[in-house]
Structure 1
Amino acid sequence: MVTDTEGYIQVIEYLTEHLSLFEHSTSAKQTKTSVLEVIEQEMSEQIINLCNQNEHLSFNQRNTIVREIDAIVYDLQEILSGVINNPVNAEQVSFIQEFAMLIKNLFDIEINQHMGNSES
């Protein structure tokens, strides 16, 4: 669905262009939330929003989306493997939120292309 698209490749390239944000960072000592926890939370929130906005999706379509998100989170774990369990800082949280919205936008595009624009 999404992970096979040129858009996904571009979003991953966008992430790799910003790896320094994760590689050479420090976090406030009081935070105990990891990079992975924020990724999982933000991706979950965006997919919940996506499903709420597209109530017409079937159970199988929703499962496909969840499987795609699992694959995307796995890709992020691979790309960020050296820092995935590090405490997250505010700049990283902002980037992860933006990244999750870009992923949601890819799903929005795919849903609109495959389901039509009947709910506009």
Structure 2
Amino acid sequence: MVTDTDGYVHIIEYLTEHLSLFENAAGHSLNERSIMEVIEQELTEQIIMVCSQNEQLTFNQRNIIIREVDAIVYDLEEILSGVVNNPATQEQKTFIREFALLIKNLFDTEVHSGVLS
């Protein structure tokens, strides 16, 4: 579904073009959320939006979406493996929020094109 689209490839390329945001981050308070925690939160919020905006989705269709999100999180863990446990900077949080919105847009496109039907 989403992970098999050209759009997903472009979003991953967009991430790799901005990997410098995740390199050499300065030390932060121990109270800061990790990069992975921010990714999980932002993706979760966006996928909840997809599902709430598309009440017609069946239980099986929602499960397909969740499996896709799991695959996306796995990809992000691979790409950002050296930094996922680092505290997230404000700039990283902003980028991750934007990235999650792009992922949501991909899901919206797939849902509205009837791929899940």
TM-score normalised to the size of structure 2? 0.94
How far 1:38 moved relative to its partner? 0.3
What residue in structure 1 maps to residue 93 of structure 2? 93
- Give the 5 Å matches for 1:7-26: 7-26=7-26
Contact 2:30 2:87 in 1 (8 A): no
Contact 1:27 1:88 in 2 (8 A): no
Q: How far apart are the structure 2 equivalents of 1:40 and 1:18?
A: 19
Letter in 2 for 1:6: D
Letter in 1 for 2:60: N
Which is further off, 30-39 or 91-100? Answer: 30-39
Q: Report the aligned-residue RMSD.
A: 1.1
Letter in 2 for 1:49: M
How far 1:114 moved relative to its partner? 1.1
Q: How far apart are the structure 2 equivalents of 1:111 and 1:86?
A: 34
What residue in structure 1 maps to residue 79 of structure 2? 79
Letter in 1 for 2:110: E
Where structure 1 has 5 or more consecutive residues not aligned to the other structure, the ranges are 116-120
Runs of 4+ in 1 over 3 A off after TM superposition: none
Partner of 1:82, secondary structure, is coil
Q: How far apart are the structure 1 equivalents of 2:62 and 2:26?
A: 37
Where structure 2 has 5 or more consecutive residues not aligned to the other structure, the ranges are none
Letter in 2 for 1:63: N
State percent identity of aligned pairs: 64
Q: Does 1:48 align with 2:48?
A: yes
TM-score normalised to the size of structure 1? 0.92
Which is further off, 26-35 or 48-57? Answer: 26-35
